[in-house]
Amino acid sequence: MERAEIEQLLAEYATGEVSDEKKLRLSEMFLKDPFLKEEANTVAFAWEALNHETSQHATEKMDKQFYTMLQDVKAKNKLKPMPIIALKRSWLKLAIASAACIVGFIVGRSSIKPIETIRFKTVYVKPSTTYAVGDKQPTQVLMKPVSKRPPKSRSVSQYHPEFDRKIRSLYASERITAVLSITEKSNLSAEDLQLLELALKEDPSSSVRLAVIDGVRPLIAQTKVQGVLISAINSQTDTWIQESIVDLLLEHKSKEAIPYLLTLLENKTTTSLVQHKIKEGIETFLN
């Protein structure tokens, strides 16, 4: 018999799990080899020595803790939702949230007050009778109801939708193209002039404004074209554009421009060069 087998037998012997058949075999082996018996007694003694250790028991405190814990787990287990609801909980949440949103929207829409609009306007009626200078002229104040929606005036875009889009483009090149395509016409309509005036007054790019001036140069003989330039002369921030307009108006001896040029002359912010040009131009024009 190999040593490993003997060790296994002795382990069984020590722990008391040895069968009767093996016991007999062991007895025979003990007779043959007394050292083996001694070895068996040694391990059996060690095994017995551990018996005392097994006499230690759990305390009441531990039991109490366990039963408290068990009650807690049971309570939590009862609170658990039913499996079907647990599975569909996320869908339920989503459905409830959607329903709440819809109800909120409907309630909000039905309960909100309409924005108040001005329903009256003040009209001053001037009597037909004449009064002497210094007399106080009585005025009658009437409250006239205003229609909720004032009649729409025709906008520029209705006439020139494409130009209107281009002239309001983010890109200066597109705006210049729009200006040039308008000024190509020999006879400008009121809407064309309105667009050009808009560009000349409000366009942030000086290139676009210069394009307008260059574009209307051949048409400057027309009074309405001169009107566009006159209306825009005071709103110019760039001196050289202002100079160009002044040159153009004086060149064609625009009478209508004289009062505006004088105003510009009196303006302290006007540069000396422009003032000098205006003075010279008016003198030439008068002589």
Partner 1 sequence: MTDEELMLSVKNGDLDKAAILYERYKNNIYLYMRYRNKNSQERSEDSVQQVFYRLLRYRDSYREGKTFKPWLYGIARNVSHINYKDEAIQEGLRTDYVQDEGYVSFNDEHQAVRCALTLLPEAYREVLMMSKFLDMKYEDIAEVNNCSVGVIKTRVFRALKALKEVYFKIS
Interface residues with partner 1 (CB under 8 A) are 4, 7-8, 10-12, 14-15, 17, 39, 42-43, 45-47, 49-50, 52-54, 56-59, 61-63, 65-67, 69-70, 73-74, 77
The CB-of-47 to partner 1 minimum distance in angstroms stands at: 6
Whether the Cβ atoms of residue 207 and residue 176 lie closer than 8 Å to each other: yes
Residues 6+ apart with CB under 8 A from 14: 40, 43, 44, 46, 47
Find the shortest distance in angstroms from Cβ 25 to partner 1. Answer: 15
Q: Answer whether 250's CB lies under 8 Å from 285's CB.
A: yes
CB of 39 to partner 1, least distance (A): 8
Strands (E) located in 3-127:
120-125
Between 38 and 238, CB nearer to partner 1: 38
Q: How far is the CB of 15 from partner 1 (least distance, A)?
A: 6
- Residue-wise burial string across 37-53, b where 16 or more C-beta atoms lie within 10 A, e elsewhere: bebbeeeeeeeeeeeee
Our CB check for partner 1 shows the closer of 15 and 139 to be 15
- Token reading at 273: 């060069």
| Cα Dmax for the chain | 159
Nearer CB in complex with partner 1: 65/207: 65
Q: Toward partner 1, which CB reaches closer, 62 or 142?
A: 62
Measure CA of the first residue to CA of the last residue in the chain; give whole Å.
147
Min dist CB 28 to partner 1, Å, is 19
Q: Report CA-CA distances (Å) from 107 to 34, 178, 184.
A: 100, 49, 57
CB-nearer residue toward partner 1: 70 or 100: 70
CB 82 to partner 1: min, Å: 13
Residue closer to partner 1, measured from CB, 10 or 178: 10
- Tokens 């309409």 locate to 114
d(CA 191, CA 155): 9
- Which position has the token pair 């006439």? 159
